[in-house]
């Protein structure tokens, strides 16, 4: 099984900005979310913690790895979609015709960025490498996690636009009968205050 974990909150997430390769740290709330993720995942069966190279994912992964008593491995295939010139901007600032095209064409790339199709290919490679092995906790970002879920369901990459994924959430994919499938999506109950 692959536990697909979205990193904790950053200021850009809080402000609802597109956040790709920009590299802000977690907020205090994001660090609290990482601690709750660690509590939730400590008995998950995950033997390895693999993370995107970006700071927000690495910070989240470090808290989880500490709870499991393992190190953090880095895999660039888990890095967020490159928004290029649109990074750290509001979706309302994007040219409407470009945004409309992006939502109907998986090969569309923001200026200087990458497409959903490219993200899907690199995440599929990660999933193929890990789906049949020991359980792994993969700390990543909204677009790669959606791509992993869509890979498991053999679904169109454009369905990513119809999925909502919270910061600090857990989604799970596996292959219990030898065929990849979605086992859980956007679980956030662990984030509720006690």
Active site residue 80: yes
* Active-site hit among 80, 114, 130, 141: 80
Residues with Cβ within 8 Å of residue 82, at least 6 apart in sequence? 20, 21, 110, 112, 113, 114
Give Cα separations from 107 to 83, 104, 148, 180 (angstroms): 13, 9, 17, 24
Active site residue 7: yes
- How many Cα atoms sit within 13 Å of 32 on the Cβ side? 7
* Active-site hit among 3, 7, 130, 141: 7
d(CA 173, CA 154): 12
Residues with catalytic function? 7, 80
């Amino acid at each position: 099984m692959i536990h697909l974990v979205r990193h904790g909150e950053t200021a850009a997430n809080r402000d609802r900005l597109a956040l790709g390769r920009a590299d802000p740290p977690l907020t205090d709330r994001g660090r609290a979310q990482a601690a709750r993720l660690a509590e939730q995942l400590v008995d998950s069966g995950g033997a390895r913690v693999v993370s995107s190279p970006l700071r927000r994912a690495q910070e989240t992964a470090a808290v989880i790895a500490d709870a499991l008593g393992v190190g953090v491995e880095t895999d660039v295939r888990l890095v967020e979609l490159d928004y290029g010139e649109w990074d750290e901007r509001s979706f309302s600032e994007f040219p409407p015709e470009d945004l409309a095209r992006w939502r109907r064409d998986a090969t569309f790339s923001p200026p200087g960025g990458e497409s959903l199709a490219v993200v899907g290919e690199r995440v599929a490679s990660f999933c193929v490498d890990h789906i049949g092995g020991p359980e792994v906790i993969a700390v990543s970002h909204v677009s790669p996690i959606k791509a992993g879920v869509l890979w498991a369901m053999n679904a169109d990459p454009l369905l990513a636009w119809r999925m909502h994924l919270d910061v600090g959430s857990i989604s799970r994919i596996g292959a219990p009968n030898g065929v990849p499938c979605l086992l859980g999506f956007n679980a956030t109950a662990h984030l509720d205050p006690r």
